[in-house]
Structure 1
């Protein structure tokens, strides 16, 4: 079990977000297939996906050793909902960050030499990881991403509603269940390892996740101790909800949106699902705030996003028209 300790300052700085990002969700989907986990809720998805990524996806499996911690792709690739943006971030990860993330990873013997190349920053090894990430995402995540994105946005909205209705402690209490228990001032997280986690005034970002089902995961920004930790909370709680996500596949929707809006503008629209400031969107997509401002201005003039000022922050959210455009099979495309 992990125990997250809150101070009054931590409670004040706790917030919610929409996704841990395309890269982390993709690696979790590979782990779900590898471990044959997920139960009935993921059975239809697993049957349709298993075996399809093939040999090209093997480098991702190497990042999931049989013992010890997995590689934290969220820290390396960021939380962008766009896999191409995530890959760009991954390939430009600083050497110090790579070494910090791999410090406690024990590669299986078959991958030990290759893993050493990764830690040393070998470009060819990292290009193999990038290709594996794209291949796995294309098969396991992208066909369902429209539905997944809407589900995560709805879950985030429920978190935000609990936060607005009763404050952070009410939100934490609403998460009580088999995976999490709020015992003020400690949030107990069922986990395979034991640890006491002190937030030290940084607060916590609570994010729903789809393909991580066994336990909530605490994600740490390795080289930025001032940034808040992230708690990724499994959001699929029953077979009915899971099955609804796998009905059909969104094979061409993302490409259609990109053809209509352009790649970066489509990514900005997708990143704004669930809301976020200009700085938030820039960080999620690894682009400049000025670029975000330009694209949100165009999207706002088209009626796809709304913008409001809250203190010094400029906050953006997707309109009903924008959500309709993002929906799989949208007749607007």
Structure 2
């Protein structure tokens, strides 16, 4: 049992997010792929994906010991929905953070030398993890991400409505079913490890997660004690047999989208999934910021993309119509 201690300031600073990050979802998807006792809701996904990961998954598998603590990919690579940003965060992660996250893992003897190099900040070892992350993401997450992201947004929206109707404490009473119990001022979370967690005014971030195990996890940044920890809540239960989530968007869809919009504009539409700024669009697609801005404007005028201010920059995200076009289905389906 984990007991999260709240003050009035913590309750005021509690908020909800859409995702724990694509890196963490990718790690969890690889782990889930090996779990033959996973919920039936993932069975179609497992059948579709299993066998498509080869040796390229090796570095990620090495970071997933069969027993003991697990790696916190959100801490290492952030909660970004962009796989490129996640890789950048991994490559820039401080050596001290690598040692904290990897030092207690029970590595297989054949991986210990490689793991020591990774903990010491070895660039080649990081590149191996980055390549494995991209390869696994392209197979286990990317083909389904638009639907997954949409579902996570719906779950977050339900959290927000509950908070709007009854406050944070009302959310706590309906969160996670029997795995979570609100005993003011303590939120009790069923867990294999016993611990008391004091938020000390930081508040709590509550985020749904798609591919995690049924166990609710508390994620925190060991090098940033002022940052609010994240409570990761599984978004799918055993009864949520929505197999439409696992319909793969194939190559024919991608080709017809390019025929309709043109290659670059279709690439901009795909890159905007999950949210992306103009500078990041330009970097990902190897085009100038002016060109990226032009294509985003055209897509916005067509109501496929919406743009909002995000600090000093802007953030482009897909509308429901944009997602429907990306998946080539009716927006009312």
TM-score with structure 1 length normalisation? 0.82
1:208-227 counterparts in 2 under 5 A? 208-227=208-227
Alpha-carbon separation, structure 2, partners of 1:23 and 1:67: 21
1:212: Cα distance to partner? 0.7
Alpha-carbon separation, structure 1, partners of 2:155 and 2:68: 30
Q: Which residue matches 1:249?
A: 248
| Contact 2:146–2:323 (8 Å) recurs in 1 | no
Query: Equivalent residue of 2:181, what SS?
Result: strand
1:149: Cα distance to partner? 1.1
1:189: Cα distance to partner? 1.3
| Contact 1:57–1:136 (8 Å) recurs in 2 | yes
1:128: Cα distance to partner? 1.2
Q: Which residue matches 1:174?
A: 174
Q: Which residue matches 2:35?
A: 35
Alpha-carbon separation, structure 2, partners of 1:320 and 1:160: 19
Q: Does 1:195 align with 2:195?
A: yes
| Contact 1:62–1:111 (8 Å) recurs in 2 | yes
| Contact 1:19–1:79 (8 Å) recurs in 2 | yes
> How many residues get paired?
316
Structure showing greater Rg = 2
Q: Superposition RMSD on alpha carbons, in Å?
A: 3.4
Q: Does 1:271 align with 2:275?
A: yes
Q: Which residue matches 2:328?
A: 329
1:14-53 counterparts in 2 under 5 A? 14-53=14-53
Alpha-carbon separation, structure 2, partners of 1:234 and 1:163: 18
1:322: Cα distance to partner? 4.0
1:7-156 counterparts in 2 under 5 A? 7-156=7-156
1:51: Cα distance to partner? 2.7
| Contact 2:181–2:187 (8 Å) recurs in 1 | yes
1:304: Cα distance to partner? 4.5
TM-score with structure 2 length normalisation? 0.82
1:228: Cα distance to partner? 0.8
1:79: Cα distance to partner? 1.5
Alpha-carbon separation, structure 2, partners of 1:84 and 1:312: 21
After superposing the two structures, state which structure 1 stretch, 187-196 or 315-324, moved more.
Answer: 315-324
After superposing the two structures, state which structure 1 stretch, 88-97 or 214-223, moved more.
Answer: 88-97
CA separation of 1:84 and 1:117: change in aligned 2, threshold 3 A: same
After superposing the two structures, state which structure 1 stretch, 299-308 or 187-196, moved more.
Answer: 299-308
Alpha-carbon separation, structure 1, partners of 2:55 and 2:301: 45
1:121: Cα distance to partner? 1.1
Q: Which residue matches 2:158?
A: 158
| Contact 1:142–1:251 (8 Å) recurs in 2 | no
| Contact 2:209–2:234 (8 Å) recurs in 1 | yes
CA separation of 1:225 and 1:313: change in aligned 2, threshold 3 A: farther
1:153: Cα distance to partner? 0.9
| Contact 1:41–1:241 (8 Å) recurs in 2 | yes
Q: 5+ unaligned residues in a row in structure 1: which ranges? A: 273-277
Alpha-carbon separation, structure 1, partners of 2:87 and 2:211: 19
Alpha-carbon separation, structure 2, partners of 1:159 and 1:102: 33
Query: Equivalent residue of 1:241, what SS?
Result: coil
After superposing the two structures, state which structure 1 stretch, 109-118 or 30-39, moved more.
Answer: 30-39
| Contact 1:300–1:306 (8 Å) recurs in 2 | yes
1:104: Cα distance to partner? 2.1
